[in-house]
């Protein structure tokens, strides 16, 4: 009987550990997606800034 309780206890500990690891994995996946989105937005912002800079430089050239 003691062996069965020991196995149940070990199984429960492993279940708890597995749940914690899955929560960590899901949290990390969410963070990765947030970081990807941030990088994408930053790159898009840089691209738009370079386009705007180019447009302004062309306007300056045509005014001179």
pLDDT at 2: 55
pLDDT at 48: 97
Along the 64 residues of the chain, how does pLDDT read in single tens digits?
A: 556 676 789 999 999 999 999 999 999 999 999 999 999 999 999 999 999 999 999 999 898 7
- Separation between Cα atoms, residue 64 and residue 57, nearest integer Å: 11
Question: Exposed (0-12), middle (13-18) or buried (19+): which is 10, by Cβ within 10 Å?
Answer: exposed
């Amino acid at each position: 009987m003691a062996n069965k309780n020991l196995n149940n206890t070990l199984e429960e500990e492993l279940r708890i550990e597995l749940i914690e690891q899955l929560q960590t994995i899901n949290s990390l996946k969410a963070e990765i997606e947030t970081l990807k989105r941030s990088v994408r937005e930053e790159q898009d912002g840089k691209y738009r800034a370079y386009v705007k800079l180019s447009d302004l430089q062309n306007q300056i050239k045509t005014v001179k």
